Amino acid sequence: MNIYKEVSSAVISKLQEIPELKNVLTPEILKNATVEIPKVRDFGDFSTNIAMLLTKSLGQKPRDIAEIMVPYLKQIPNIDQVSIAGPGFINLKLKDEYIKKIALSDKLTPETPNPQKIDLDYGGYNVGKTLHIGHLRTTVVGDTFNRIAQFLGHKTKSYNHMGDWGRPMGLIIAWILENGMPKNVDDINKMYPASSARAKEDPAWLEQAQKITVGLQNGDKEYKQIYDAFIPMSLEQVNNLLKRLNILTFDENKGERLIAEYVPTVQKILDEKGIIEHSDGAEIISVKQDTDTEPMPPVMWRSSAGAQTYAAADLTAIYYREKTDNPNAIVYFTDNRQTLHFKQIFRAARMVGFAQDIELQHIGFGTITGADGKPFKTRDGNVPSLDEMLNIVADSVRTRVTESGKKLSDETIEMIALASLKFNDLMHDVKSDYIFDVESVTNFEGRTGPYILYTAVRLNSILNKVGDTSMDAACQLLPEERDLLMFLLDFNRVTETAFEKRAPYILANYTYDLCKLINTFYHTCPIMRDDISPEIKSQRLAIVKQSLNVLSKSIELMGLKIPEEM
């Protein structure tokens, strides 16, 4: 249940009953009126600015207007107190009984009256290249966003728009032609870097790779055979890692190659509309507008070598997704170096007449840096693969655990490492850069994955100890209990906001704040101590249980796993 929406609409409809306000509560005013959850809840659970918005139309002081409203607002069922604060804010406090009732029975089933269809584009791995730190954010944030959207009842389709049809393929096939098929993961990982390094020094090699790329795209049998044998090996490697990262399976691994099938169709549409221009042997689409203040280069539709381009695949993918899914939105998660690319593609799509009713949205990420502010590298100066990243984090977790004298299984260490890496990624606003420091992400205290898991493990262990007892909340609430219950009730609003703003960090930070409140409650409200009456114990256990429900759900939405012990 979204208590926030509940209270907001109760306030609005109550105000409409007030005769003095009949003519002034315009839709405009109501739109600007906010019901907010104050940071400090000492004076109320919600506060509203509505009285301040009416000063002009009523010609009265906001406090006086608030005085008119208070007696009415007091009539709202389940409201305990209504008070005026500062220049004319109105604070509302809910009845404890009501909070207990709704918080403890909340099944966390969101109300989404208008579920949307959303295509998500994240991952976008390049075949033949190991997944590295640069893929962390698109993978983790994309996956969590997908989980949040599904939880809310939206219908998502996740696309792994693989880089499997461009120049890297030419480079890899050239390498295989000379050195034979790769035999293991190490071979796979070496081929592309070796071949592309050679292309930088050897123009003939580069030219050869380009020819192969065009040949492959035009149906060359030998190249296609090598390609078909190689792709599954590479995909398997990607999938193993995604499994290790606990990422949902992609609905479509439809990359540049599969979309290539539709390029001729889009080419025809572009030709009919006369949108293509020729420039130095290449085919381009000009997307510049008079109002542009920044450079807006044309979209490269076909390269001068005749190859399908990155841009052509993306423009065609929009055509394809509109035809097959007709979603309300297509949301792309990539790093922000692709911001211009997507601006160009979205413009081109609109020009051609694609996706007229589809929201096209690119969420661009910042960079993960070291303490020096430069892109994060390992000690030996390499860009770490995602596997290596997880290993580095797992080693740090293991050291901590050993130092504290605990013994945890490898499986548990892996779960803690996963939470360390993913939570740290999720809690940062995607747009900004962040510093990756392995010591701080694996800390068991503070805004970290281990702290989140530890809190869940603690709740689990309390409930395991009591077994299947009846839980009933019949006692007065202490402030720590009340604060926690109110916060639990905020879960649905938080997931909705994270979805609307395309911002999983809102959920991650909510989860951290929730854990803080849970731990405060745990420390101030003893449960198992002998001097605690059965009634109080029962109530506190009920609070523990619901806290665990909400916390587990948040953890699941972030794609983390709760270990049995920590």
Enumerate binding residues for ligand ARG (CB under 6 A).
Answer: 121, 124, 126, 161, 163, 314, 332, 334
- When the beta carbons of 100 and 302 are compared against ligand ARG, the nearer one is 302
CB of 371 to ligand ARG, least distance (A): 26
**Number of other CB atoms surrounding residue 509 within 10 Å:** 18
- Of 447, 525, 443, 530, give the one whose Cα is nearest residue 485: 525
Residue that has been written with the tokens 């007065």 in this structure: 476
Q: How far apart are CA 84 and CA 92, in angstroms?
A: 9
Residue nearest to ligand ARG according to CB distances in the complex: 124
CB 161 within 8 A of CB 121: yes
Q: How far apart are CA 440 and CA 368, in angstroms?
A: 14
CB of 314 to ligand ARG, least distance (A): 5
CB of 330 to ligand ARG, least distance (A): 9
Which amino acid is located at 331 in the chain? V
H or E segment and range at residue 302: strand 299-302
343 Cβ contact list (under 8 Å, min separation 6) = 296, 362
CB 130 within 8 A of CB 95: no
CB of 334 to ligand ARG, least distance (A): 5
- When the beta carbons of 130 and 334 are compared against ligand ARG, the nearer one is 334
User: What is the sign of the dihedral through the CA atoms of 365, 368, 369 and 374?
Assistant: negative
CB of 51 to ligand ARG, least distance (A): 49
- When the beta carbons of 161 and 422 are compared against ligand ARG, the nearer one is 161
CB of 134 to ligand ARG, least distance (A): 8
CB of 124 to ligand ARG, least distance (A): 3
CB of 272 to ligand ARG, least distance (A): 25
Distant-in-sequence contacts of 473-476, Cβ < 8 A, 24+ apart = 473/100, 473/104, 473/538, 473/539, 473/542, 473/543, 474/535, 474/538, 474/539, 475/535, 475/536, 475/539, 476/96
CB 188 within 8 A of CB 238: no
- When the beta carbons of 363 and 408 are compared against ligand ARG, the nearer one is 363
CB of 232 to ligand ARG, least distance (A): 18
Q: How far apart are CA 392 and CA 377, in angstroms?
A: 12
Which amino acid is located at 105 in the chain? S
- When the beta carbons of 163 and 504 are compared against ligand ARG, the nearer one is 163
- When the beta carbons of 66 and 259 are compared against ligand ARG, the nearer one is 259
- When the beta carbons of 314 and 496 are compared against ligand ARG, the nearer one is 314
- When the beta carbons of 126 and 344 are compared against ligand ARG, the nearer one is 126
Q: How far apart are CA 263 and CA 424, in angstroms?
A: 40
Q: How far apart are CA 566 and CA 564, in angstroms?
A: 7
- When the beta carbons of 320 and 332 are compared against ligand ARG, the nearer one is 332
CB of 223 to ligand ARG, least distance (A): 20
121 forms bridges with which residues in the sheet?
159, 332
- Of 129, 204, 213, give the one whose Cα is nearest residue 171: 213
CB of 168 to ligand ARG, least distance (A): 9
CB 95 within 8 A of CB 78: yes
CB 508 within 8 A of CB 427: yes
Report the alpha-carbon angle 320-324-329, nearest 5.
80
- When the beta carbons of 100 and 167 are compared against ligand ARG, the nearer one is 167
Which amino acid is located at 478 in the chain? L
112 burial (CB, 10 Å; 0-12 / 13-18 / 19+) is middle
User: What is the sign of the dihedral through the CA atoms of 164, 166, 172 and 177?
Assistant: positive
- When the beta carbons of 110 and 166 are compared against ligand ARG, the nearer one is 166
- When the beta carbons of 49 and 336 are compared against ligand ARG, the nearer one is 336
Q: How far apart are CA 253 and CA 249, in angstroms?
A: 9
Token reading at 287: 């997307």
- When the beta carbons of 158 and 460 are compared against ligand ARG, the nearer one is 158
Q: Which residues of 191-202 are buried (b: 16+ CB within 10 A; e: fewer)?
A: bbeebbebbeee
- When the beta carbons of 131 and 506 are compared against ligand ARG, the nearer one is 131
Q: In residues, how long is the chain? A: 566
CB of 230 to ligand ARG, least distance (A): 17
Report the alpha-carbon angle 187-425-405, nearest 5.
85
Token reading at 46: 């919600």
CB of 197 to ligand ARG, least distance (A): 18
**Number of other CB atoms surrounding residue 388 within 10 Å:** 15
CB of 301 to ligand ARG, least distance (A): 15
